[in-house]
Structure 1
Amino acid sequence: MKIEAPLLAALPGIRHAFFTRQGGVSQGIYASLNGGMGSNDDPAAVTENRARMAREIGVEPGALVACWQVHSADAVVATAPWTRDDAPKADAVVTRTPGIGAAVSIADCGPILFADPEAGVVAAAHSGWKGAVGGIVAATVARMEEQGAHRADIRAVIGPLIRQASYEVGEEFVARFLAEDKSFARFFAPADRPHHALFDLPGFIRLRLEQAGVGQVEDLGLDTYPDAARFFSYRRATHRKEPDYGRLMAAIALA
């Protein structure tokens, strides 16, 4: 049902999980632990799935909070639970309030969980390529600092996401990165098809974490695309011509 990162599991008073697709009640293409409120799954099933996730990290079902994710560089602070209708449009949740589960949903994009155990501040961020380029990591760390965290004390973990071997992109995608910094060429490898390349999203996210001054970074090294038994994948669902796809969740909370 969940994967834990050694870097975070060692911290007292902090509960976290990168949830797999296993251990829920959803059926069909959403089987079984689909956390996607934006999917076309049965809302009652998604609600039950998210309640199970909340219990795994020791919070009440209504206290597992996530944003309306819009591939932005916006991070928000949660001091109390909000409803789906009230959720802000942003891509990271920061909290220093015990009992609040900061959560993100993903289906190939990168989930990043952050914790400063000394200051008692945690965060969850959703980073696809747009967020990584746009600055979601820097924004999350800045919000954590506002809540009392110190960059050098922050631990960050990159969870399951689409990895380079599975992430083929076109020339325009590559050009967008090189226009910002020619050195970003190191995040691209040749693809089998002409005029295409393979993009290293987790490597780029790690760069952003290092640029933000995060003290310790761990990458779980897990690829969502080839592992259909454990992970949902937007790209895999698209290649299979499936009508929709489930969403994975990652969450962190102060006990």
Structure 2
Amino acid sequence: MQLWTWHTWQERSFLTCSLLPQPHGFFTRHFYPAAPEALVKVISPAMQVYRVKQVHSGDVLTPTEIEASPKLLPLADGIITERPEQAVWACSADCTPALVSDVITGQVAAVHAGWRGTAQKILPAAVARFQAQGSQLENLRFVLGPAIDGSVYQVGRDVAAEVVLSIEAGISSEPLTGDALIEAVRAIKNPPLLSDPQPDRLRLDVRRVNQIQLEQMGIEPEQIAIAPYCTYQDPANFFSYRRTHEKKVQWSGIVSR
């Protein structure tokens, strides 16, 4: 089954995933500097657009909460819709853009999951908000878009330990931290931690950690899709802060039904 499809709009490329029934897109660098208010027209007729000021948190807001905020862009890293025809957006340049869908209710979420947000379990926080709105776990679909691949994402051991602490409860029958936790995680099947030539560094697969978090909640593997694209290794299509240190981003968005 072909999950991922490239589309062209006015000679610019974006991605969709067949796991998501709602209009959506993972946009490439070729759309820069277009904002979501313009990008939404590529995937759907004019909708109400919602976005936040991303701060690497574990917070997920609703449109109602965004509209009630005294700030033009409230601080958060995820948005979950409440009604049809709401478009929610996340931007990224190595961090994981995650689009989430309830295939029954039609409600959706857009989440920015960097290593800090992943350590704070932002995707499970989004799931909790779906459940509060009546969603059932089996009806949710999760698509993790283009991000820096674990094979090239070098981090310190302290960062690695902080991130994998978020999956520790499902790894060991007794509490583990630090190097003991790192070694336990490296021993699991398809581990999110890989070796690095520098002894004080590791390679971290943030998308894999998010996948494990979801599976530990009871999400089945077939409910999750991970894009086979790395922002760091594909300069033709994606910005990468780790590669260039430029503050440029690509947007990902989805529309509720």
> What TM-score does the superposition give when structure 2 sets the normalisation length?
0.79
Cα 1:113/1:204, change in 2 over 3 Å: same
Cα 1:175/1:153, change in 2 over 3 Å: closer
Q: Which residue of 1 aligns with 2:107?
A: 121
Shift in Å, 1:197: 1.4
Q: Which residue of 2 aligns with 1:27?
A: none
Q: Which residue of 1 aligns with 2:244?
A: 237
| CA-to-aligned-CA distance 1:10-57 (integer Å, 9 cap, x gap) | x2xx111111111x3xxxxxxxx23xxxxxxxxxxx4xx433311022
Q: Which residue of 1 aligns with 2:209?
A: 204
Contact 1:81 1:100 in 2 (8 A): no
Match 1:252 to one of 245, 251, 254:
254
CA distance in 2, matches of 1:69, 1:84: 16
Q: Which residue of 1 aligns with 2:127?
A: 141
Instruction: List aligned pairs for 1:28-43, cutoff 5 A.
Output: 33-34=32-33
% identity of equivalent residues: 30
1:189 aligns with 2:194: yes
1:102 aligns with 2:92: no
Name the amino acid aligned to 2:253: A
Greater Cα shift, 71-80 or 101-110: 71-80
Contact 1:17 1:252 in 2 (8 A): yes
Contact 1:111 1:159 in 2 (8 A): yes
Contact 1:80 1:100 in 2 (8 A): no
1:168 aligns with 2:138: no
RMSD of aligned alpha carbons: 2.2
| CA-to-aligned-CA distance 1:50-100 (integer Å, 9 cap, x gap) | 333110221537x22111111111111114985994222111100032221
Cα 1:99/1:234, change in 2 over 3 Å: same
| CA-to-aligned-CA distance 1:97-141 (integer Å, 9 cap, x gap) | 222111101110001111012122111111011111111011101
Structure 1 residue runs of 5 or longer lacking an equivalent are 25-32, 35-45, 239-243
CA distance in 1, matches of 2:72, 2:45: 19
Q: Which residue of 2 aligns with 1:226?
A: 233
Contact 2:88 2:110 in 1 (8 A): yes
Q: Which residue of 1 aligns with 2:52?
A: 67
CA distance in 2, matches of 1:73, 1:126: 9
Shift in Å, 1:194: 3.3
For residue 193 of structure 1, give the secondary structure of its aligned residue in structure 2.
Answer: coil
Contact 1:119 1:150 in 2 (8 A): no
Match 1:6 to one of 12, 15, 18:
18
Q: How many pairs align?
A: 223
Contact 1:120 1:149 in 2 (8 A): no
Contact 2:79 2:88 in 1 (8 A): yes
CA distance in 1, matches of 2:44, 2:83: 13
Name the amino acid aligned to 2:185: F
